[in-house]
Amino acid sequence: MAKTIYRGDYRAPTHLIDSIRLEFDLNAEETLVKSTLEVRPNPECTEKDPPLFLNGEDITLRSVSIDGRELKDGEYKVDSNGLTIPGITSAQKLEIVNTFSPKANTALSGIYASGVNLMSQCEAQGFRRITFFEDRPDVLARYTTVIRGATEDFPVMLSNGNLTEEKSLEDGRREVTYVDPFPKPCYLFALVAGKLVSRASKFDLKDGRTVDLSVWVDPQDLDKTEHTLESLKRAIRWDEERWGLELDLKDFKIVATNDFNFGAMENKGLNIFNSRCALANPKVATDSDYLRIEGVVGHEYFHNWTGDRVTLRDWFQLTLKEGLTVFRDQEFSADMLGEPSARAVQRIRDVSVLRAAQFMEDAGPMAHPIRPESYQNINNFYTSTVYEKGAEVIRMLQTLLGRETFRKGFDLYIARNDGHAVTCEAFINAMAEASGRDLSEFTNWYSQAGTPRVTVRRHWDEVNHRLTLNVRQSTPPTPGQSVKKPFLIPFPVAFLNSRGEEMPVQLAEEDEAPAPGTRMFELTDETAEFVFGGLEEEPVVSLNRGFAAPIILDAGLSQEELAFLAANDPDPFNRWDAMNRLLIDAVHAQTRARLLKTPEDVSPLVISAASKILRDENLSPAFKAVALTMPGEKLVAEEDPLIDPHAVHAGWIAVRQAIGEKNISAFLETAQANIVEGPYEPTPEKAGKRALRNLALGYAHAAGSPRAAIMIKDQFMTANNLTDKLAALHMMANSQTPAKQDMEVDALKAWYHEPLLINKWLTIQATAPSFPGEARVLERVRELTRCPFFSLKNPNNVYALLLGYFQQNPSEFHLADGSGYAFWAEMVLELNRINPQVAARVARSLDNWRRYTPALAEKMHAALESVEAKRSELSPNVAEIIEKALG
């Protein structure tokens, strides 16, 4: 039976574990662990003489001893959840011997086999699959790790901390010892062993120390590690310069593996990465992969302070480390881009991700506050809400307090909590103290789910030249929270005159006009009224610039005003946002026209707005590319009262085609003008040009230009980098061109031996449309699950093919006969037996079934029920998702 855990039920641990010595005898079939713990009762525990409970899952107990005496049956109890030992009322030395099988560990949690290597993943609750331990983040211990293994199988053996001893044993084995000087929770433990090679470098820290950095990979991947190592150096330097934080170890390692449940993991001094977030060269990685790798390398490195040195009291506090660390990695990525307009592109990307994934989550059955109040399985709460919305909440604090004060609060937070396992209050309190501001109203962001709607209505008083803004905020109900209190929302306001210049934002009661530009206000109540004066003409308003708050803003702007902002707003984020909104509205209009069977032309306003941006000589290629990118079908659909994915798809196609047709020569010229010559370099400028060229080719191709088709095919054949090659393949696969089959086969032949490329190829297959006369995508995907280069045991394969199909190809997945959903149910059940975390992620694809037209919703519901019918076989992970979806 699923058990719900509540935040309010937190109890301090009964016992503390000051140190742990782990001795591993490695073997992929069966690994033996001897664990020696120094345990003592926790003085803070209020229970009298409680038994010691050590979590243990899927591991086999061999023996338990206390201070050298082996315990007999009856002196302890062991079951499928762990080991209970009564009578530990004083400090004791506990010795536990157990075994587990890395090979059999298809859940990829604990220690598991990845090819010829062994890898570990302990967050959130994987350590209990290695040995018996108090598997909770508030038990901090000092680790000594001894690893023994056959030299032939495991020439490299790594763990956290410093290598203190290394010796050969008589029997062809080797033994290494690592000591980690920093106490840590067990979720940060790591062990890696196998046939790995490394790219290494010395690096000089600001404080004068020199450290060793290394990136460990399979031998065939060594030529994909340079960018990773360089990104790590940039991250270390940035953390020193921007936050005054130094690396606290002599040695810092990164490991890459093809078998990993998510992106990467911040184990102390030994970060482990999914290879798709760590490996790059021009042949296997696109411009966005290069950016992502830099961001994730930064993210995991930044956790060393925000996560490892200051850690979590319990898993409800996850956003304390994740929201903060995402904020830090976003700032890092933006700073690496340099000047303000390039930074804006980074912000636009981050916001697009938030709107596409988190807004949807916040409106569905899994909606939860960034600090959830309850969960069944914590692995289901590594969500875009905890991560990305969590980062927005931190960003709002910086906006409200100002960068300098925020930095003071941050310093205070680190200084005060270093070495401790704390709650989100530790962060808020440090900020409150540094700023002298009562932040209690702000904490609603931590406790309430749902995306606030902010509606702004304007009244222009022509006689007195006054502008009144009436602002109302409201947040729709979410599961378990029907009534919401108002949020404290930063609310930047800017005014533009008819020439597109910024005007002063002056309140009517003020005597003096401030300098023209953005002015920051705060919303605290459900409603607010602002009256502005000193205005020479009625302004166009530019609100929530830079996406200061994670809200849905209805500024009441007309299409004409949006077009004006898209052409003139000096704030690049809002300029993009206005163009994006015009595109979304255009797709809505076309969708509606299809549903009502009243054909209408794509609005000339959106077409001319797009063409102005395309031709604007003051805009960078990178900006033009993001501004003219069509909003995703799912994002658009999310705003419809009832989603008809096919109508949205048709509407989307119509808008893209119309923009392409009306600007065909401009797009072709743009494509021609943005050829990047010379060897590949992932610099922002060159990446921006490639992005714009490919976007332009895409529009021209969608408009049926034969010249575009030739240019695309040519690009596919001659590109010296994956960005251009993949873009070409993608455009072809999404069109009815007969040449596409040959290109797809060519790509497959060339990419067959490279998992990173195979996954990209699978995604292209999964996300392409099917045209009359072609096999349905469902059939293609089903067939691909049986091919030799796909395995349900490999998370990246599953994400590339199945998530691609279930979540990025709405018009092909939502088939009228429900066969797409039946396939989903089949896959969820199979994955459930293999890897519960991956299965649960795939299971979430039907979360928002209630939002669809009744015919589809009914079939989605039936598919959910068919999984629910197997309840007794479901992992707790999947059970929670299905139960909440059915809610």
Which positions from 293 to 332 touch Zn ion by CB under 5 A, shown as an x/- string?
Answer: -----------------------------x--x-------
Q: What is the torsional sign of CA 101, 103, 108, 111?
A: positive
Shortest distance, position 582 Cβ to ligand ARG, whole Å? 35
Edge-first strand listing for the sheet containing 270-274: 197-204, 210-217, 251-257, 270-274, 264-265
When asked if residue 266 is in the footprint of ligand ARG (CB under 6 A), the reply is yes
Shortest distance, position 273 Cβ to Zn ion, whole Å? 12
Which positions from 308 to 347 touch ligand ARG by CB under 6 A, shown as an x/- string?
Answer: --------------x-------------------------
- Residue among 266 and 638 whose Cβ is closer to ligand ARG: 266
When asked if residue 379 is in the footprint of ligand ARG (CB under 6 A), the reply is yes
Residue 728's binding partner among Zn ion, ligand ARG, none (Cβ under 5 to 8 angstroms by kind) is none
- Strands in 515-579 per DSSP E: 519-523, 527-533, 540-543, 552-554
Residues 6+ apart with CB under 8 A from 802: 766, 781, 785, 827, 842
Rounded CA-CA distance 392/373 in Å is: 19
Residue 28's binding partner among Zn ion, ligand ARG, none (Cβ under 5 to 8 angstroms by kind) is none
- Residue among 180 and 322 whose Cβ is closer to Zn ion: 322
Residues 6+ apart with CB under 8 A from 734: 768, 769
Shortest distance, position 410 Cβ to ligand ARG, whole Å? 19
When asked if residue 262 is in the footprint of ligand ARG (CB under 6 A), the reply is yes
- Residue among 144 and 384 whose Cβ is closer to ligand ARG: 384
The answer to whether 522 is a known catalytic residue is: no
Shortest distance, position 837 Cβ to ligand ARG, whole Å? 6
Contact 294, 260 (CB under 8 A): no
When asked if residue 848 is in the footprint of ligand ARG (CB under 6 A), the reply is no
Q: Is 455 helix (H, G, I), strand (E, B) or coil?
A: strand
Contact 243, 261 (CB under 8 A): no
Rounded CA-CA distance 240/247 in Å is: 8
* Stretch near ligand ARG under the rule CB under 6 A, chosen from 264-272, 344-352, 490-498, 799-807: 264-272
When asked if residue 235 is in the footprint of ligand ARG (CB under 6 A), the reply is no
Of 57, 221, 251, 300, the residue at the interface with ligand ARG (CB under 6 A) is 300
Which positions from 663 to 692 touch ligand ARG by CB under 6 A, shown as an x/- string?
Answer: ------------------------------
- The CA-to-CA distance between both ends of the chain, in Å, stands at 16
Q: Which residue has the tokens 């499928």?
A: 80
When asked if residue 648 is in the footprint of ligand ARG (CB under 6 A), the reply is no
Q: Is 5 helix (H, G, I), strand (E, B) or coil?
A: strand
- Containing 234, the helix (H) or strand (E) segment is helix 226-243
Shortest distance, position 318 Cβ to ligand ARG, whole Å? 8
Of 94, 264, 602, 879, the residue at the interface with ligand ARG (CB under 6 A) is 264
When asked if residue 124 is in the footprint of ligand ARG (CB under 6 A), the reply is yes
Of 33, 176, 232, 265, the residue at the interface with ligand ARG (CB under 6 A) is 265
* Stretch near ligand ARG under the rule CB under 6 A, chosen from 262-270, 278-286, 361-369, 451-459: 262-270
Contacts with ligand ARG: how many residues (CB under 6 A)? 11
Q: In the complex, which residue's CB is closest to ligand ARG? A: 382
Determine which one of 95, 123, 300, 331 is catalytic: 300
Helix axes 777-784, 755-767, angle to 10 degrees: 160
SS (H, E, C) 465-519: CEEEEEEEEECCCECCECCCCCCCEEEEEEEECCCCCEECCEECCCCCCCCCCCE
Shortest distance, position 121 Cβ to ligand ARG, whole Å? 7
Exposure string for 629-662, b = 16+ CB within 10 A, e = fewer: bbbbbbbbbbebeebbbbbbbbbbbbbbebbbbb
* Tokens (6 digits) for 566: 């898209």
- What is the contact surface with ligand ARG in residues (CB under 6 A)? 123-124, 262, 264-266, 299-300, 322, 379, 382
Positions in the binding site for Zn ion (CB under 5 A): 322, 325
Catalytic residue ranges: 300
